[in-house]
Amino acid sequence: MWTEEKLNEMLTTPSAKLVEDVKKIKGDIMVLGAGGKMGPTLCILAKNAIRAAGIEKRVIAVSRFSDPVALELLHSNGVETISADLLDRDSLDALPEVENIIFMAGRKFGTDGGTEYLTWAMNATLPALVAYKFKKSNIVVFSSGNIYPIVPLSHGGCSESEKVAPIGEYAQSVLARERAFEYAAKEYGTKVFIYRLNFAVDLRYGVIFDCAKKIIDGTPISLTTPCFNFIWQGSANEIAIRGLLHCESPMKIMNVTGPETVSIKETSIKLGKYLGKEPVFEGEEGNTAYLNNAGLAMETFGYPEVSAETLIKWQAEYILDGGRTIDKPTHFEERKGSY
């Protein structure tokens, strides 16, 4: 029987590798933008790994914390919190100096439609300010795999050496985020790890959940983008924490996603069988997609613990068991960079 409590426990139970790596991380950890979809479980995972390692280390979560559920979850698990608007210079400057920073702050949805300036403020201006403020820290920077070009399915996915080609203002602003930290790495000697994520799956939200919801609602699923990559959020969070040991100057770049290239159509058909409802499709299956090759991350950190097949099954079970969900669609089918 799936419950949100069970899901949170699974997402925040550290692996033996994480426990060993946490022992090697010198100093406390502060997570900026910790109130989003991944932040709370990442902070609690780090705290649980520290406890399991038998060491003393602070984990500090910083956010505006608009979601009281997330704030309560953090407090109940011993994570320190600081409520702050990071775009407010006084609030940013007042943050304590910490040896390790995980930067998760950003804005994606709502970019188009007259508020593009807010996205650029969060994704470009703020990173420059943070990079200067914490220039002596190790910084893991969350980025996105969609700054790469859309590629043919036969391509095998973009590796870190692929030339970036961001489409739309969101992706362009994410590249600006990276450039701000790259400047810090080169000019200040800041040690930086750029973490290019391609879809984390949490069961409360994500690409698989989006497909399942469309099936339940009878909404057609677009096949224009025929394939996608994703990774279990527990593994994604572990890589972000362990990445603190791989911060470098010049900065290190690494793609983070699962090993499988997964078909939208086949995933939806499998979900439909579990859910007892036939999916409805629309459009012709395309032959290109946003696909990333995370071979370097797997060589460095190991393969994700949960396979795509298992995640598809878990997603259907979670929905059928009435687990709480988050209304934050991924818009995985978007190809023109309009968010």
Element spanning 63, H or E:
strand 59-63
CA dist 101 and 32 (Å) reads 7
Query: Where is pLDDT greater, at 258 or 325?
Result: 258
* Residue 59 confidence (pLDDT): 98
Paired tokens of 26? 């010198």
DSSP 259-313: S--EEHHHHHHHHHHHHTS---EES---SEE--B--HHHHHHH---SS-HHHHHH
The CA distances from residue 31 to 130, 140, 179, 196, 244, in Å, are 12, 9, 20, 17, 12
Instruction: Classify residue 82 as exposed, middle or buried by CB count within 10 Å of its CB (0-12, 13-18, 19+).
Output: middle
The radius of gyration of the chain from alpha carbons, rounded to an integer in Å, stands at 19
CA dist 34 and 103 (Å) reads 8
Q: Residues 75-120: pLDDT tens digits? A: 999 999 999 999 999 999 999 999 999 999 998 776 677 789 999 9
Q: Residues 81-90: pLDDT tens digits? A: 999 999 999 9
The helix, strand and coil proportions of the chain, stated in percent and rounded to the nearest 5, come to 45, 15, 40
Q: Residues 25-77: pLDDT tens digits? A: 999 999 999 999 899 999 999 999 999 999 999 999 999 998 888 899 999 99
Is the domain spanning 4-201+230-258+291-305 CATH 3.40.50.720? The answer is yes
* Residue 110 confidence (pLDDT): 64
Using DSSP, state whether 115 is helix, strand or coil.
Answer: coil
CA dist 257 and 158 (Å) reads 11
What is the residue extent of each domain of the chain? 4-201+230-258+291-305
Return the closest-CA partner of residue 192 out of 238, 248, 244, 143: 248
Q: Does the pLDDT at position 182 exceed 70?
A: yes
CA dist 126 and 116 (Å) reads 14
**Tokens 């930086």, located at residue:** 192
CA dist 58 and 105 (Å) reads 20
Report the 10 Å Cβ neighbour count for 317: 15
Specify the pTM. 0.95
Question: Which amino acid does the sequence have at 81?
Answer: T
User: 155 with 116: CB under 8 angstroms?
Assistant: no
How many CA within 13 A on the CB side of residue 54? 1
pLDDT-based confidence at residue 250 (cuts at 50, 70, 90): very high
pLDDT-based confidence at residue 337 (cuts at 50, 70, 90): low
* Residue 68 confidence (pLDDT): 86
Q: Does the pLDDT at position 335 exceed 80?
A: no
Terminal C-alpha separation, the chain: 35
